[in-house]
Chains A and B, each alone.
Chain A
């Protein structure tokens, strides 16, 4: 029977822990939250412990942290309207660049697969694409105002420079750079959720997307390329994304985060009902109407809302979660 075994409960933050992010090697992770600090954790023997605490980078809540694909840089997005870039070129982690431009709260930050681009989004309804211009230099490449409400989350396609964003306006949008005039444009709008879309994640191919929402559902979307065999009509030579599966009736409150493991294909969700759930695609799943089964329900995984879930990228079935209760928990999934 599928089970989520608690390996360790980690204390250290005061107040809400909004986000946790694995280093690409899976041996370190970063956490952040209401207490305006970033903590870096690694394993000492069997125990995960705090190795470094990054303070004074932000004046307000730190909403999200993200490691660059090379693992040398850490980006942090804060309600103080800035995004900080940390590295340890000097031997220890320090903030060597600050991205300014958003009018108010920055809610999410993500590195592109090449590590050459960064995306941020926030309450000012905009999505910004930044280019790494040189050592400690970042240039704004585009400001995208496609959403008409605040933008909750940005995530990059796993191998291409295609960006997705989730918003309070109930939609998800995708963007890419037009090679002719180097302008970033919105290439798709995904409508189906009935309330705020809080988070999203691509599968390992980048041809499917999972989204989660305040409408208490999780949706799976599939890309239909211009040459698709299914006969899905394409306009403007851009792929069409269709919702091919809705997981409803499982979550009893807002779903705050979703993580799609690129090694195992398992989907984990973080919910306001204090539960972590794991979904697995059925063996005989139809690609155009896939079925996912709920294989694990961890009741009271935290004593308050679960805000974030993150699979260890090395595929060892370790899952991190963070909560309003101030705790981070590390779990081991087994079939």
Chain B
């Protein structure tokens, strides 16, 4: 039996334009730091677990909801489930966390949280996503890893 999606008819938004590469970025002599747009680019094409759409197209992720601090080595991603009782919120958060875990240098402390007031179980989802022991255990679950890999396959 196929499970019917929580939100059967989500609003689909247009994709943003591609990032323009500056001449400074092409200069190998210059160190450039991570910015919000770069983090956004790393996660914008993660697939929604329920729809053939990306997290950008569903506006689950927006550049303005990402905060990068290169000095403190922190990245905070706020994501917005399409509906407040989305049962996939933890899985989406986990996909974002896994993608950033794989893509960013290990010095970064990554925090992935539900945008304030956008989910009924906001606190519980955030607590679970912040618990690295639970995340580590989840990533040893082959079925779950397969699902996450499908979500992050096209990034």
**Do the beta carbons of B133 and A152 come within 8 Å of each other?**
yes
List chain B residues, Cβ under 8 A from A34: 136
Residues on the A chain within 8 Å of B132, using CB = 305, 324
Q: How many A-B residue pairs have CB under 8 A?
A: 38
A222 at the interface (CB under 8 A from B): no
Bound CA–CA A104/B133 (angstroms) = 13
Q: Is the CB of A60 within 8 A of B140?
A: yes
CB–CB A196/B137 < 8 A: no
- Give the residues in chain A near B109, CB-CB below 8 Å: 253, 272-273
Measured CA separation A104–B134 after assembly (Å): 12
Interface positions, chain B 99-155, Cβ under 8 Å from A, are 106-107, 109, 127, 130-134, 136-137, 140
In the complex, chain B residues whose CB is within 8 Å of the CB of A52: none
Q: Does A84 contact B (CB under 8 A)?
A: no
Closest Cβ of chain A to B37, distance in Å, is 25
Interface of A (DSSP majority class): loop
Contact B107 A61 (CB under 8 A): no
What distance in Å separates the Cβ of A256 from its nearest Cβ neighbour in chain B?
9
Chain A positions 43 through 85: 1 when the CB is less than 8 Å from some CB of chain B, otherwise 0: 0000000000000000011010000000000000001000000
Chain B residues with Cβ below 8 Å from A16 are 136
The answer for the CA separation of A150 and B106 in the assembled complex, in Å, is 27
| Set of chain B residues within 8 Å of A63, measured between Cβ atoms | 133
The interface residues of chain B lying within 8 Å CB-to-CB of A61 are: 136-137, 140
Tell me whether A168 and B131 are in contact in the complex, defined as CB-CB below 8 angstroms, given that A253-B109, A303-B106, A325-B106 are known contacts. Answer: yes
Q: Which residue of A lies closest to B74 (CB)?
A: A253
Q: Which 9 interchain pairs have the tightest Cβ spacing?
A: A60-B140, A105-B137, A79-B137, A304-B106, A79-B140, A61-B140, A61-B136, A303-B107, A196-B131
**Chain B residues packing against A (C-beta within 8 Å):** 106-107, 109, 127, 130-134, 136-137, 140
